[in-house]
Amino acid sequence: MFSNIFHKKTADERRSDRWIFGTMLVFGLIGLASAFVLTIEKFHLLEDPNAILSCSFNLVLNCSTVMQTWQSSVFGFPNMLIGLMAYPVVIAVAVAGLSGVRFPNKFLIVANICYALGALFSYWLFFQSVYAIQVLCPWCLVVTFSTTLIFATLTHYNLRENVFNLGATQRKRLQEILYSDYDKLAVAIWIVILVSLVFLKFGDALFA
């Protein structure tokens, strides 16, 4: 699928690659662990609908309540199974990237689209939890955070490597943005917005 050829890069680019794929690996592992725990908890809930799960802390932070809604099985099976299938792919890409593997542009574009879809789905679930269900699943919040950073890191890499074959002017502007870390600032602001929405909605009830 991709070549095992090592691309000659500058020291800064190699350090950037370690940061990008290292971050992707860490949060791929965290996402996989979260999906695994959620799967185990789902089994417990199926065995005993009244079971008190380890991720159920109060009326607001209660994955048991979330798991019993239709949003928890959008495609006809528990959402966490998607994580069990997707995160190993993320981990494999991260390990390959850390090993210096050079990916074909088509592979990276498809991966970026898949990561984007995963992020959009996690945000949809987040807003459903906050405003429709009005109960939060702690492990799902971890998944949302992990998916955000995974998508951000691959997008940063693809833009830096001009995987989308942008014109010279567009590429120069993007490179300036990337080297100024404005993309990282945008991700940080987005995460702060999500956290703020949670506190604005639930306030002290989060700690009740």
Q: 126 phi and psi, to 5 degrees?
A: -60, -50
The span from the CA of 206 to the CA of 75, in Å, is 29
Provide mean pLDDT across the span 40-65.
91
Which tens digit of pLDDT belongs to each residue from 177-205?
A: 998 999 999 999 999 999 999 999 999 99
Which residues lie below 8 Å from residue 42, measured CB to CB, with a gap of 6+?
67, 78, 80
∠ CA 117-122-126 to the nearest 5 degrees? 145
Closest CA to 191 of 132, 136, 151: 151
Confidence of residue 3 (pLDDT cuts 50, 70, 90): very low
Confidence of residue 13 (pLDDT cuts 50, 70, 90): confident
The span from the CA of 154 to the CA of 34, in Å, is 21
Mean residue pLDDT across the chain: 92
- Coil, helix or strand at residue 100: coil
Long-range Cβ pairs for the range 17-21 (8 Å, 24+): 17/97, 17/98, 17/100, 17/157, 18/98, 20/97, 20/153, 20/154, 20/156, 20/157, 21/93, 21/94, 21/95, 21/97, 21/98, 21/153, 21/157
Look at 81-85, 146-150, 173-177 and tell me which has the smallest mean pLDDT. Answer: 173-177
Which domains are present in the chain? Answer: 7-207 (1.20.1440.130)
Look at 3-7, 28-32, 66-70 and tell me which has the smallest mean pLDDT. Answer: 3-7
Confidence of residue 118 (pLDDT cuts 50, 70, 90): very high
Provide mean pLDDT across the span 166-184.
91
Residue 4 is inside which H or E element, if any? strand 3-6
Which residues lie below 8 Å from residue 116, measured CB to CB, with a gap of 6+?
151, 155
Per-residue model confidence (pLDDT) at position 2: 43
Q: Are 72 and 49 in contact (CB under 8 A)?
A: no
Per-residue model confidence (pLDDT) at position 5: 42
Provide mean pLDDT across the span 82-99.
96
Provide mean pLDDT across the span 155-159.
95
Residue 4 has pLDDT above 60, yes or no: no
Q: Are 151 and 27 in contact (CB under 8 A)?
A: no
Provide mean pLDDT across the span 74-103.
95
